Structure 1
């Protein structure tokens, strides 16, 4: 799919041609807004603001979801992805004409190709939407700049400019002086002096009439060139100093900088030391005419700057040790040297002379209209008209490629093997993707293996000390790189920087002020802003929530060293812990109500800080703080599906000696018990739950609602009865607690095959969850109701429930969405829609974290889809993956797998029955029966019995099949009427036995006690092909 924004908003299946119908203004606007950020998520709140502005509809989230659904129907469901808190257009930037235009326009040789993408004014049919006018203006401005740049390049090389394009552009923007000046020069170059003067004079008159101003310097200079009939100036030679090493991973940056230089007169590359600003500046100006480079790094004082610039641009150099008059004359000589000359001046390494460089640039740009400046600096110059291009870290693959390139240069034959690649990737990640540290690390390949380099990065400042001898001293070691920046800081900036080292992943302005304040810092935020300007701290805007301020890991390590030297580490880390405790304890109760998504977003944003606070408290043996942190985080981990992370922290905290708040200890012990029950440590889990319940009995009310649920819930599943959980579901004052008590009762009813009770309890739980605003509980209840609708033979109602549950899980960003999407995919397949099934399963794969449970769920679902849509070979391959994954479920996740073994065995049997090979089905089905007997799970046992009925029918035993269908009914509480195979089995036993006899056999099966029914199932499958005594 390709998206067109350069004109009316359109979508084409592959290339421009027959457009896909896009119904409605806001549907087109939604597509356009997502396409502007193709491949990146856009937050829900931002989309609502952009599409409705200050008048959003009631239930704006639902309205947006409806738009998304309409857009998916138009362009395909898999093109518009759901992300936590927003949506993403799953398309490459190159497939959006506006983004492709930017990429092409960055290359001077492809400007004509770029301009050919335009079909009319940008976003022509959605400009009435709140976001569109400004976005369209930006796009139109870039088009105008490209037209001008193409004309300037043509004129500079002595070729003809596109007079039609310039004329049309000036007609559309008659006050645009740059276009007017270029058109005048182009007409002059073709000998049409009168027309050229008419263009200049007409533009000048309109400027005076409409704006009351005189023409600017560029238009005036063009007029003088026409009057003087000045010939074209020869092209200057490029600066000396060709690079001697490869340039890796900065192609996008080069294009972007070239684009900026085509539309702005002052561009500054900013970034930390070692980011590659100097090299990027050289690559960006390669091939440009009239480039001059001023190297500022060797300068020691601002008084040296003017003469250095004068020498760079080719004017007569002056010695500033002479008279004051001579020194004062240098700026005027610079202006004289640059006047009338198209010049691109590169000012490299401005940070230590930033004020002097800014003053000189501010003087030169207004007086030299043909001058453009590309500066590199660790902080902006702060001159009016400056445009910044931050030089960010190299992306993962590019960083690895740089390491390999530099390593091969010092150790010929070094190559990236599958064993080495993850180690190199880890080195690059820990070095923040910064080119200079990566190159210093690669130089160590002469004496160390990648694994040894990775191990020694804990002491990176001792390790990375082997820069080129010819480099500036500040680029020869990693410590020198950071020292250079640190030494340029004022004392309050140093204080804030070293205290920021207490944060692992960054701070908000508010948390930084809490941790970094002190008598030596008059204003923390001012110091923080200055650190951002000086590239020691990165400001990272968030889609939702406040901006975060983070340090690169190397700078943070350096800051922590300085924090230790100042004797402030203990105080800073204590302040950090206080901030984190306040955050998590304030959020915890709100995770069970309407503020759930907001608090989850805050906890996600602070995940690294919570993690480091837990690590510090556990390492220090601070039992009280560690228990408070883990107890407050427990429910968040649970509803986000972070079960392995939760288990790891609960284990670490549980073993700590020392006093801890009793409620926090009970929660940690209870959470740990819950994580063990149902796994390979079920007995331990039961004992831990008993310990937790004993603590709960000593606590006053009101208590954490989960603590009130522990005892009654344990009674139900340990066979001690359901009196307590019934009372809780009726009498608890907390609606959240009542809802989960109902849900516990529903699970018990499901296991017992009481399907009507299960449905009633789930509906009551759903209503309570909806009233409290708890999306986690609501999603579980709704999905379970969907399963019941599917079993009842109502695929439409089941699909609606699954879709609702998927939306809820995607809003939470938890692992339930993988299960929910997988179940939805199989439902698509059961209705004959293979394309939708595969697309939905791809969504599950995209959401997967690659864990063993996720991989298993997706493999089982794929096997089911392939079987239902007729590809038994593909189904066999998929179920083999699922079967192999059972051991990983035990080893990696510590899960008991009896239920899953039953599913896999039954599915293998179904595949063979579908393939027409009942003999091959008997073994897997016997395995499934054995697992079902171990699991004692009603729905699983019912499903296995239904498959066994098919097996008996394939062997001609219709009476035995009917009996097992009755057993399945009792085990689950109903037959699966949503299964075409079950319906076929019912029809076949009716045909063979006659309806009355079939019903009688099923009745006998239904009336068997549950244990007897399982025993009958075991005997029937074991005796396939032989004889056995059937119950009558």
Structure 2
């Protein structure tokens, strides 16, 4: 974790997420521990830090309570007790104040050693850690805060000293602001005088000395120090040399954020490095930062105004940047390129910015200069490489997520007074991701905080389009950097007509594409060559096997897309889905799942287009059916829901199987008339399904069929996977309808069949129910072995909803074992899987947690969890009768539970509800009838369930009422009944 106290208390996890600490006292306690990170802080010190010299009575107990609250907010084991005090077990370098002090010491050492460029980098890093008032959450911290502010000011002075030793000098305006804030600080005043002298402003430097002399005399009655007087004398004696005219690096008005990896790579600068990337990625800013840190003499030449690919004109531009007149240093008639080579100093760093529109001329001149000037180094920025031997390419990717957020918040704080960094971290991170991490786009977005808050900005970015929203930039910036549209148009204008055609068609791919897909969909000659050109020009990116556009560039190009290309895209991905579907039921399923996952964005884009714009071709219906197995196995079922619902608005002819697929995928749930038609279709099938996984999906969503609606062999056909699916259905009926031994034997064979096919989903389903059967008998080791194997298979597939179901089953088993912590963990993980799948938290999760709370004798938690489960059931978010019955049982609504269970085709569901009813009966003092009902439950299920705490309680109470012998007789009487008579007893008990 990372901790910050140089401003409001801030905690971030290893993933960058902010961690909240509730309450002012626990926050103050954490600050005290952070100030001595890694060391034991005595209880007396902590009390004094919290309450000052006059702590209240009971301060020690209060401190212990604060420690407990703090531990709840932090990872386990972070706050340690050591007898006399507490220790925060973190590395001091993970705390900004300790890192600041270490960097300041290192910067001071580098300054003393003459390593000025490194000192500047180190001190900048130290000062960038500050976010506001230090120790803001700690009361009575005035002395410590003052000490830190003094250290910060001293670090600023060291930074200025190091900058004054570098060619580009320091920021005079910022230095003058510091002097105004600290007018009696003579070191700062002297540094300002030296900076003014370096800028050729000797008169202003001398005026600063006079102002300081008067102030010191008036305020303190003293003369300037010998050091300040010496600087004054040196300025008086300085000769009036001509001010250098070489064009230095452009001054930057904002802080530099991110690019640590790039800066590290360029710490040892090659002779020629070209920074390449799309517009707006920050190539110019990085080039300036690299040059600033390098330490060589620098000349900066902006080539953006040039449009003719002419070497002489380019050479003249660089000569002007050097401050030299064309004929003032060489005889007339000498070519400008030769004049330029002769004029360059040894060990110069030449920065050529914006080479892309004069790429040939830039390449020619750089080649000549590097050949003739052996100590010359060149940094070029361009949207495509120069293409020279020995060129080091540094492609600039979008900013990493954390740096993108830092950049936004830095720029936001500058334009919106009171903006608190970190306050909207999640929304800012999402906004930056939507902008592809492009620095220019992020800065343009942050500038709009003058008008909108973060939430409204994110909303408008989506609703109004990024190009319209990000259309107001710095009025003084180059035109191509004032709006997001202009940034991309600059690159677009550099493309040939053929390249533009491919770029506009490529924009149909939402998630990148293979070369084969590009050739098939875009239908342009020499697509492979043109695609390579677009990669070179930073319009398209490639990892060697796939090609993609940044979303911002893609949206710009997509404005030129035609319906013909969109239809071709939908047809191509329908064909891919149909090709993949059979393999998802074979040993190759993981490979094909990976293939479809890589194309997921394209598949969903094609489906949405087909559903809304291409309904005549029925492509959308066919895609839902072909993708059904992939969507379920990869936990993405909900992502096709809206398109499926749209398709149902126009019912097709002769696409019955495809229609059923849309019904079971539609979100929100399809209308009753759609379900009725789908049921009729499933009853009418007299042929094998083209997509057999649809039968499994129908069973999982519509619920088990009635006895007269059971699947027929014709529905599944003779394919081995289909046959195994049919046997799985039969086995589950046997297991859950009172014939567990027969069902278990069948499940063993079914699991073996699926495993022989190399198919994970079916085998995991069988293993999950085998585990439940073993758990009924209390064979815990065998049950957990089955569950572990099944869970691995589901996780390999990414079948999130199946993972959630399994974890709920296992969580209930842990409950019966008395392993409450393990049960809680499984229910929590089940909730995570369900939410990630987009299906919401199933009622089984709060129901399971309610049972955990009941075992822990926590009635308030029981009420809260049962309310959640009841709300989910009453809202109709779960279709199966078994879950409704379980929730009603937990709520004590036993008659309703039995009624719901009686609508289930499975006797095991009625058995569960009957055991709940027995609890109500025994509470009324009817021990004999309770014993009978417990026996009836065993008759219905075909077995007792080991370890059920509620059944154990009812059994004990019934025996207490009627005695062990009478209980055994009544229990046996119920257990010996056949199914029909057992159900009659249950029905009679609810009247």
TM-score where L is the length of structure 1: 0.64
1:819–1:372 Cα change, 3 Å: farther
1:809 match: secondary structure: helix
Report what 2:793 is aligned to: 808
Cα deviation, 1:107-133, whole Å, max 9, x if unaligned, reads 99869999xxxxxxxxxxxxxxxxxxx
For 1:620 and 1:397, the matched residues in 2 are separated by 41
| CA shift for structure 1 position 382 | 4.1
Superposed displacement of residue 632, structure 1: 1.6
| CA separation of 1:388 and 1:896: change in aligned 2, threshold 3 A | same
CA separation of 1:260/1:692 partners in 2, compared to 1, >3 Å: closer, same or farther?
same
Pick the aligned partner of 1:760 from 735, 739, 745.
745
Would the alpha carbon gap of residues 814 and 113 (structure 1) be closer, same or farther in structure 2, given more than 3 Å must change? farther
With over 3 angstroms needed to count, the CA separation of the structure-2 counterparts of 1:866 and 1:400, relative to structure 1, is same
Q: 1:838 to 1:308 in 2, by over 3 A?
A: farther
The residue number in structure 1 matching 2:971 is 1002
Question: How much has 1:933 moved relative to structure 2?
Answer: 4.5
Structure of higher CA gyration radius:
2
Report the equivalent of 1:435: 439
CA distance in 1: counterparts of 2:764 and 2:942, whole angstroms:
23
Q: Deviations over 1:714-757 (max 9, x none)?
A: 998233275x747988xx53111111111222333345232223
Q: Does the CA-based 8 Å contact 1:742-1:764 persist in structure 2?
A: no
- Give 1:717's aligned residue: 705
Q: Match for residue 219 of structure 2?
A: none
Hey, what does 1:480 align to over in structure 2?
A: 486
Q: Structure 1 pair 560/687, CA: closer, same or farther in 2 (3 Å)? A: closer
From the superposition, tell whether residues 270 and 927 of structure 1 become closer, same or farther in structure 2 (CA, over 3 Å). farther
Structure 2 residue aligned with 1:496: 502
Q: CA deviation at 1:1016?
A: 5.3
1:979 matched to 2:961? The reply is no
Task: Figure out how many residues of one structure are paired with residues of the other and give that number.
Answer: 770
CA–CA separation in structure 2 for the residues paired with 1:111 and 1:517? 60
Give the equivalent residue in structure 2 for 1:688: 678
**Partner SS state of residue 720, structure 1:** helix
C-alpha distance in 2 between matches for 1:906 and 1:397: 49
Residue deviations 1:457-510 (CA, integer Å, cap 9, x gap): 556545543222211111223332222101212333222212212223221111
C-alpha distance in 1 between matches for 2:374 and 2:818: 68
Counterpart contact for 1:666–1:693, Cα < 8 Å: no
Matches within 5 A, 1:59-458: 156-157=115-116, 239=248, 241-245=250-254, 250-251=257-258, 253=259, 255-265=260-270, 266-283=272-289, 289-290=295-296, 292=298, 293-301=300-308, 302-306=311-315, 308-309=317-318, 323=332, 325-330=334-339, 332-333=341-342, 337=345, 339=346, 341=347, 345-361=350-366, 373-383=378-388, 386-394=391-399, 428-441=432-445, 450=456, 454=460
CA gap of 1:693–1:540, structure 2 versus 1, over 3 A, is farther
Distance of 1:111 and 1:530 partners within structure 2: 47
Shift of 1:528: 1.3
Q: How big is each residue's C-alpha offset from its partner over 1:219-261, in whole Å with a ceiling of 9 and x where there is no partner?
A: xxxxxxxxxxxxxxxxx999554433455xx43x2x2122112
Deviation at 1:653, TM superposition (A): 3.1
Q: Which residue in the other structure is 1:640 paired with?
A: 634
1:824 match: secondary structure: helix
Deviation digits for residues 683-730 of structure 1 (CA, Å, limit 9, x no counterpart): 742432323554x44x6x7955468999999998233275x747988x
Aligned-partner Cα distance in 1 for 2:247–2:818: 66
Alignment check: 8 A CA contact 1:832 1:869 kept: no
* Cα deviation, residue 331, structure 1: 5.2
SS of the residue corresponding to residue 584 of structure 1 reads helix
Q: Select which of 538, 555, 558 maps to 1:557.
A: 555
User: What is the DSSP-based 3-state SS (H/G/I as helix, E as strand, rest coil) of the residue aligned with 1:262?
Assistant: coil
Secondary structure of 1:849's match?
helix
Residues 240 and 903 of structure 1: CA distance in aligned 2, closer, same or farther (over 3 Å):
same
Partner residue, 1:624? 618
Task: Specify whether residues 272 and 726 from structure 1 end up closer, same or farther in structure 2 by C-alpha distance, changes over 3 A only.
Answer: closer
| Counterpart for residue 786 of structure 1 | 771
- Equivalent pair of 1:294/1:348 in contact (CA under 8 Å): yes
1:192 aligned partner:
none
State the alpha-carbon separation in 2 of the partners of residues 151 and 362 from structure 1.
36
Which secondary structure state, in structure 2, belongs to the residue aligned with residue 269 of structure 1?
strand
- What is aligned with 1:85? none
Structure 1 pair 951/650, CA: closer, same or farther in 2 (3 Å)? same
Gap runs ≥5 in structure 2: 3-13, 15-75, 77-88, 120-244
Instruction: Map 1:22-37; keep pairs closer than 5 Å.
Output: none
Query: What is the Cα deviation at residue 885 of structure 1?
Result: 3.6
Residues 346-368 of structure 1: CA deviation (Å, up to 9, x unaligned): 44323223344445555666877
C-alpha contact (below 8 Å) 1:307/1:319 kept by paired residues: no
Deviations 1:363-422 (A, max 9, x none): 66687777655443223344555554443335667657766766776676788999x999
The answer to whether the 8 Å contact 1:856/1:882 transfers is: yes
Note closer, same or farther for the CA distance 1:853–1:743 as it changes in structure 2 (3 Å cut): farther
The answer to whether the 8 Å contact 2:663/2:670 transfers is no
CA 1:673–1:308 in 2, change beyond 3 Å: closer, same or farther?
closer
Q: Distance in 1 between matches of 2:668 and 2:293?
A: 67
Q: Deviation at 1:311?
A: 6.1
> Partner of 1:471 in structure 2?
477
| Aligned partner of 1:538 among 526, 541, 556 | 541
2: CA distance between counterparts of 1:906 and 1:502?
Answer: 53
Cα distance in 2 between the residues matched to 1:95 and 1:360? 54
Distance 1:389 1:879 in 2: 58
Match of 1:671 in 2: 661
Flag the 1:972–1:467 CA change in 2: closer, same or farther, 3 A.
Answer: same
- The question of whether the paired residues in 1 share the 8 Å contact of 2:521 and 2:568 is answered with yes
Aligned mates of 2:667, 2:314 — CA distance in 1: 72
Identify the residue that residue 565 of structure 2 maps to in structure 1.
572
Deviating more after overlay: 769-778 vs 896-905: 896-905
Q: Which moved more, 1:238-247 or 1:571-580?
A: 238-247
Aligned counterparts of 1:507 and 1:1007: Cα–Cα separation in 2: 65
Question: Is residue 900 from structure 1 mapped to residue 883 from structure 2 by the alignment?
Answer: yes
- Give 1:770 deviation, angstroms: 1.6
Could you tell me which runs of 5 or more consecutive residues in structure 1 were left unpaired when the two chains were aligned: 3-13, 15-77, 79-93, 115-149, 161-235, 542-546, 564-568, 909-922, 1023-1032
Per-residue CA shift, 1:905-952, capped at 9, x if unaligned? 4446xxxxxxxxxxxxxx455664454355565333323333444555
- Tell which deviates more after alignment, 786-795 or 348-357: 348-357
Are residues 1:591 and 2:584 paired? yes
Mapped to 2, the partners of 1:750 and 1:1004 lie a distance apart of: 23
Is 1:612 the equivalent of 2:605?
yes
User: C-alpha separation between the residues in 2 aligned to 1:552 and 1:640?
Assistant: 25
Is the Cα contact below 8 Å between 1:502 and 1:573 reproduced in 2?
yes
Distance 1:404 1:296, change over 3 A: same
Is residue 812 of structure 2 the alignment partner of residue 819 of structure 1?
A: no
Cα pair distance change 1:322/1:715, threshold 3 Å: same
Q: 2:462 and 2:960 mapped to 1: Cα distance? A: 75
In the aligned structure 2, how far is the partner of 1:526 from the partner of 1:95? 54
Q: Secondary structure at the match of 2:275?
A: strand
Contact 1:588 1:632 in 2 (8 A): yes
Aligned position for 2:176: none
Q: What RMSD over aligned residues (CA atoms) do the two structures have, in Å?
A: 5.0
TM-superposition CA deviations, 1:400-447 (whole Å, max 9, x none):
7766766776676788999x9998777655543433334445555667
Deviations 1:861-883 (A, max 9, x none): 44444555666655554444434
